[in-house]
Amino acid sequence: MTDWNKVIEVFGSGVLGVLLIMGFLMILLQISFKVIEYFERCIEKPTSEKA
């Protein structure tokens, strides 16, 4: 006998879970890449000013 409540729980938590985890990862990666770009620009500036 199929437990339809469990089926719906697995289906719903799966679809939402994947989207949420990947979405959260996307946001964190974007933030960290912006921070890295900012620092890389800061490091590049004094070098180019010296030149």
CA–CA gap between residue 27 and residue 12 (Å, rounded) = 22
**Residue type, position 1, single letter:** M
Q: Which residues bind another protein (CB under 8 A)?
A: 2-3, 6-7, 9-11, 13-15, 17-19, 21-26, 28-30, 32-33, 36-37, 40
Task: Tell me how far, at minimum, the Cβ of 16 lies from another protein, in Å.
Answer: 9
Nearer Cβ to another protein, position 36 or 45? 36
Nearer Cβ to another protein, position 19 or 45? 19
